[in-house]
Structure 1
Amino acid sequence: MTLPRISPMLATPGTLPPAEQDTRWAYETKQDGQRVLVYLPGDGSVLLRARSGADITGAYPELQALGGELRGSPTILDGEVLALDEQGRADFQLLQNRMGLAGSPALAAHRAANTPVHLVLFDILHLDRPLLALPYTDRRAELEQLGLDGPCWSTPAALTGHGADALRATRAHGLEGLVRKRLDSVYEPGVRSRAWIKIRNLRSEDVLVGGWVPGKGRLTGLPGAVLVGQRAGGRLRYVGNVGTGWSEAERAELAALLRAAGTDTCPFDPVPPVADARWVLPRLVGEVRYSTRTRAGILRQPSWLRLRPDLAPEESAADLPER
């Protein structure tokens, strides 16, 4: 049987629902990995497609065994490929070591031995027949009845209601957040839908601005991003660049402050490999919001919250551990 090609349904950023609507939603842990649709024709083979539609089967040879789980039942599953750290949490930086190897089977097999992946399954789109028009609750029931829990794949439970408790639990365990899914929602291929809402656990910290990168287009003459750091072991360590979060007026104000603080000497140790960087004396303190850190300590998905003129540079984020 030729299975239909489907684009994955996407979630819209948002927050928890009003308390009175909580029981209308299921809550799943938001995973930090690579989205995949899994095509199982029923003959023992497996085809993995990325969100872009690209065939990435060869990058993950350890998932080939999944094909033997559903012989005779043409199936399409939706899930996320993860690489797990020592605490069992998804680590996207680890996963990057496995991505992009679909055309290099020998290298993919070698890296699979050192950095195995795990496939988390959360939806089913086809099982002998199309399931897209079924409500979420019926699709989840179909998926869970398959009992797909193996050495490299699993079907984590979804929680109905109790969203605030679930979000607190993900925060306590250092996880990225939740996806809430309306119980009566159908599967909308390729649509960024309000029936699925992703809720990120965002953190905020103070940083020192040590440089900036000029903007382009309508931002010509203004900072396109600022380069920020935090003190550790007596040095200013680069922790990333921030390019969002300002109004036009705030960006213009920041541009004036950066010009006044310009220097030819990079304040970061070591010097970050950032093209077209302009350095400044690290005396501006800002507060940024971010999701997680990479293993190297770089902030992921940072956005600017505000300047902190109430803080002296020596007061900001002076307690980072050495890495």
Structure 2
Amino acid sequence: MPLPLIAPMLATPGTLPPAAQDARWAYETKQDGQRVVVYLAGDGSAGLRARSGEDITAAYPELAALGGALGATPAVLDGEILALDAEGRANFQLLQSRMGLAHAPGRAARQAAKVPVHLVLFDVMHLGRDSLLPWPYARRRARLEELGLAGPFWSTPAAIVGHGRQALAATLEHGMEGLVCKRLDSVYEPGVRSRAWIKIRNMRSEDVIVGGWLPGKGRLSGLPGALLVGQRAAGRLRYVGGVGTGWSEPERALLAELLAAAASEVCPFDPVPRVPGARWVVPRLVGEVRYSTRTRAGMLRQPSWLRLRPDLTPEEAAADIPDDAV
């Protein structure tokens, strides 16, 4: 009996449920990895499909052994593939060296020896001959834990019922990406971005120095489409990324005026970043941005503009880029 193809259920960005409803929700750590649906056919094989539906089985050969974990019982499982750093935390930059190798099994095997992955499982949508999609989350989760899926490259981390505020604080304290809140009575909705699942991303904020910009297109013609920002490292201004979201229309217009007044032919970043179409400015504007994490090269991931900091000079802007990110 062939297994049904099931698109993963998606979470909606939001905030913690009201305190009065806390006991109706479960809380799971939000992982910084690649979402995957796992197909165990019951014949010893394991298939992996990305959120897009692409077959990525060959990219992760170390997960092949999961195929025998349930014996002859077929199953469809939901999870996330992670690459862990030396401190045991998910590191998306490490994972990128493993992604995109589904059609290059030789390279995938070599990379697996260098950067092994770990699969965390958090839901079961089909088991044996039965669809578990109509089951409430609490019942599906209990059934998943009964399966005892723990191995050298996979595990089933626990979910916490209630205590959402404490769970969110713990993810922030330990440098985790965030929290996923799941209503205990929620059914599994394939491919749906549901309010029954809420994701909360732990975002950091820092001061940055504006060193350039990229012109907007279409209705944003003549206005900044993105700001090119940097931070000080070893006495120089290092480029840390482009920020293209977070402004209101009045703020964008104000930035356009300030950027025009600070126009320069000289790039202030050292080294000069490869940003086609960049326009440089004298690095005197300071702003605050929100972001999720840094790459190993010190770049900001998913930066969003918060505000200008006219109260700060570039010399007073936030601390240097961390040494381990330079």
TM over 0.5: yes
Name stretches of at least 5 consecutive residues in structure 2 with no aligned partner: none
> Cα deviation per residue 1:95-133 (whole Å; 9 max; x = unaligned)?
000000011111000000000000000000000110000
Q: Shift in Å at residue 321 of structure 1?
A: 3.6
Q: Does 1:59 align with 2:59?
A: yes
Contact 2:298 2:321 in 1 (8 A): no
Contact 2:209 2:287 in 1 (8 A): yes
2:125 is matched with 125
Distance in 1, matches of 2:296 and 2:318, equals: 18
Contact 1:76 1:127 in 2 (8 A): yes
Go from structure 1 to structure 2 and tell me whether the alpha carbon gap of 1:321 and 1:5 turns closer, same or farther (over 3 Å shift). Answer: closer
1:16 is matched with 16
Q: Shift in Å at residue 319 of structure 1?
A: 3.2
Q: Does 1:27 align with 2:66?
A: no
Distance in 2, matches of 1:318 and 1:49, equals: 42
Q: Shift in Å at residue 216 of structure 1?
A: 1.1
Identical-residue share of aligned pairs (%): 76
Distance in 2, matches of 1:222 and 1:300, equals: 23
1:302 is matched with 303
2:268 is matched with 267
Go from structure 1 to structure 2 and tell me whether the alpha carbon gap of 1:50 and 1:202 turns closer, same or farther (over 3 Å shift). Answer: same
Q: Does 1:214 align with 2:232?
A: no
Distance in 2, matches of 1:301 and 1:321, equals: 18
Cα RMSD over matched residues?
0.8
1:242 is matched with 243
> Cα deviation per residue 1:144-197 (whole Å; 9 max; x = unaligned)?
000001000000000001011111111111111100000000000000000000
2:158 alignment partner, SS class: coil
Q: Does 1:165 align with 2:166?
A: yes
Distance in 2, matches of 1:177 and 1:188, equals: 22
1:184 is matched with 185
Contact 1:11 1:192 in 2 (8 A): yes
1:152 is matched with 153
2:46 is matched with 46
Distance in 1, matches of 2:14 and 2:43, equals: 40
Distance in 1, matches of 2:208 and 2:25, equals: 37
Output the TM-score relative to the length of structure 1. 0.99
Output the TM-score relative to the length of structure 2. 0.98
2:285 is matched with 284
Q: Shift in Å at residue 318 of structure 1?
A: 3.9
1:114 is matched with 114
Go from structure 1 to structure 2 and tell me whether the alpha carbon gap of 1:34 and 1:17 turns closer, same or farther (over 3 Å shift). Answer: same
1:73 alignment partner, SS class: coil
Contact 1:233 1:321 in 2 (8 A): no
Distance in 2, matches of 1:216 and 1:108, equals: 39
Distance in 2, matches of 1:321 and 1:92, equals: 18
Which letter does structure 2 place at the counterpart of 1:43? D
Contact 2:8 2:51 in 1 (8 A): yes
2:229 is matched with 228
Contact 1:121 1:155 in 2 (8 A): yes
2:80 is matched with 80
Q: Shift in Å at residue 320 of structure 1?
A: 3.0
1:199 is matched with 200
Q: Shift in Å at residue 70 of structure 1?
A: 1.3
Contact 1:24 1:161 in 2 (8 A): yes
1:63 alignment partner, SS class: helix
Distance in 2, matches of 1:121 and 1:191, equals: 19
* Alignment: residue pair count: 323
Contact 2:137 2:184 in 1 (8 A): yes
Go from structure 1 to structure 2 and tell me whether the alpha carbon gap of 1:92 and 1:26 turns closer, same or farther (over 3 Å shift). Answer: same
> Cα deviation per residue 1:210-240 (whole Å; 9 max; x = unaligned)?
0001111111111110011111111001111
